[in-house]
């Protein structure tokens, strides 16, 4: 029973975080590429790749950082 209450509380907190992130500061500049949408490979410095953090969107959702 205690575990179920903890799980329910965690779900509520998670839902609250998601809702807050969506309604207040949902989009933030991608911390990895800085909004440039691409990252430069350290091995092949001449090549640019679509940023894996934001999926080439340039910004990410706060808290979870899921693309779009």
Which residues here bind Zn ion, judged by CB under 5 A? 30, 32-33, 51, 53-54
Query: Considering the complex, what minimum distance in angstroms separates the CB of residue 32 from Zn ion?
Result: 5
Q: What is the 3-state secondary structure (H, E, C) of 3-48?
A: HHHHHHHHHHHHHHHHHHHHHCCCEEECCCCCCCCEEECCCCCCCE
Query: Considering the complex, what minimum distance in angstroms separates the CB of residue 47 from Zn ion?
Result: 16
Which residue number, 18 or 53, has a Cβ lying nearer to Zn ion? 53
Query: Considering the complex, what minimum distance in angstroms separates the CB of residue 25 from Zn ion?
Result: 17
């Amino acid at each position: 029973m205690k575990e179920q209450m903890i799980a329910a509380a965690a779900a509520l907190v998670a839902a609250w975080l998601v809702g807050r992130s969506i309604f207040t500061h949902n989009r933030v500049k991608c911390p990895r590429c800085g909004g440039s949408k691409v990252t430069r490979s350290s091995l092949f410095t001449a090549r640019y790749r679509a940023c894996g953090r934001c999926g080439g969107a340039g910004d990410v959702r706060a808290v979870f950082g899921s693309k779009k």
